[in-house]
Amino acid sequence: MLLAIDCGNTNTVFAVYDGEDKRCEWRAASKSGRTADEMGVWLNQLMQMKGLGPESITDAIIASVVPAAVFDLRLLCHRYFSAPPLVVGEPDVDLGLQVLVDRPEEVGADRLVNTVAAFRTYGGPLIVLDFGTATTFDVVDAQGNYCGGVIAPGVNLSLEALHMAAAQLPRVAIGRPKAVIGKGTVSAMRSGIFLGYLSMIEGLTARISAEFGAEMTVVATGGLASLFTEATDVIHHLDHDLTLRGLLEIHRRNAASHHTRTSTTHT
């Protein structure tokens, strides 16, 4: 079985795949300083509840946008599952695409993984819209290559910044407003954040498509994707499992050569 790890700025997702089938999935806060041993004890307990032991894991793959977390995630795979992991972004990992930007090494692993999964599922050209700590728009061409994109502050990050910077503005939950014109502070903030982001989504997808010169499929993923997908017709597909499926596809592509390298190392 494959242990797939998606480490984001806010949360880290651990999923176990048996072939194409996802057996289980868990989510933990991406806390700084969490050791391999802490994660190993926690993850093994959860796996046991699903009838899985550490020996069930034969392979592992990691995508992380938190460089400081990679060492302990890699150690977790080695120490607790005896599964040397593939790490997306390392030179020997074949993604099956070109990264057509000025500095390919700066592109987040999650954005590349999403590109792989989205192209395999929906074809191209397309825009992958990811609602995470940042809201990102990633452009994929008709051949499946990563062509760049747009990065904006995430919805919850913007709400928190508004609350922290303005003494009289409370902390509010994101939600679809009943009207554009708010009749109170909370309703005005909800309108500004939700409809402001909705306008950004509609405006940027239109501008990206016009600049790219083609009609583009828009795929949304991430925590708040469903909320915004319901409110606009510019998003064509909602896909919460996009990143994990991308990890599965990248592992499949690299599995044969990775096992060969591992066997040679231990000979």
d(C-alpha 40, C-alpha 54), whole Å: 10
The C-alpha torsion from 68 through 248 and 156 to 125, rounded to 10°, is 120
Q: What is the pLDDT of residues 150-189, one digit of tens each?
A: 999 888 887 777 767 776 677 777 888 889 998 888 888 8
pLDDT at 10: 86
Q: According to the annotation, is 108 in a ligand binding site?
A: yes
Which residue among the candidates 59, 72, 110, 141 is catalytic per the annotation?
110
Q: According to the annotation, is 136 in a ligand binding site?
A: no
pLDDT band with cut points at 50, 70 and 90 for residue 258? low
157 three-state secondary structure: helix
d(C-alpha 243, C-alpha 221), whole Å: 8
Residue 260 lies in a domain: no
Q: What is the pLDDT of residues 209-234, one digit of tens each?
A: 999 999 999 999 998 899 999 999 99
Residue 256 lies in a domain: no
d(C-alpha 157, C-alpha 260), whole Å: 44
Q: How many domains does the chain have?
A: 2
Give the amino acid at 222: G
Same domain assignment for residues 232 and 128: yes
d(C-alpha 35, C-alpha 23), whole Å: 25
Q: Which domain holds residue 53?
A: 2-87
Q: Which of 24-28, 189-193, 202-206, 242-246 has the lowest mean pLDDT?
A: 189-193
Is residue 267 scored above 50 in pLDDT? no
Residue 37 is a catalytic residue? no
Same domain assignment for residues 139 and 237: yes
Q: What is the pLDDT of residues 1-12, one digit of tens each?
A: 999 999 998 899
Q: What is the pLDDT of residues 17-40, one digit of tens each?
A: 999 999 999 999 888 778 999 999
pLDDT at 135: 93
pLDDT at 190: 84
Same domain assignment for residues 114 and 242: yes
Q: According to the annotation, is 12 in a ligand binding site?
A: yes
Residue 262 lies in a domain: no
Residue 264 lies in a domain: no
First to last CA, the chain: 23
Same domain assignment for residues 110 and 241: yes
For residue 7, what is the enclosing H or E element?
strand 2-7
Q: What is the mean pLDDT of residues 39-48?
A: 94
pLDDT at 117: 96
The per-residue pLDDT of the chain, averaged, comes to: 90
Q: Residue 96: left if φ>0, alpha if ψ -120 to 50, beta else—which one?
A: left
d(C-alpha 238, C-alpha 229), whole Å: 7
Residue 251 lies in a domain: no
Same domain assignment for residues 75 and 180: no
Which value, in Å, is the radius of gyration of the alpha carbons in the chain?
Answer: 20
Residue 261 lies in a domain: no
Q: What is the pLDDT of residues 80-132, one digit of tens each?
A: 999 999 999 898 899 999 999 999 989 999 999 999 999 999 998 999 999 98
Same domain assignment for residues 151 and 219: yes
Contact indicator for 231, 190 with CB cutoff of 8 Å: no
Same domain assignment for residues 24 and 119: no
- For the chain, the 3-state helix, strand and coil shares in percent, each to the nearest 5, are 45, 25, 35
CATH number at residue 110: 3.30.420.40
Q: Where are the beta strands (DSSP E) in 8-140?
A: 11-18, 21-29, 59-64, 86-87, 126-131, 134-140
For residue 218, what is the enclosing H or E element?
strand 217-222
Residue 266 lies in a domain: no
Per-residue DSSP letter, 33: T
Q: According to the annotation, is 7 in a ligand binding site?
A: yes
Same domain assignment for residues 242 and 114: yes
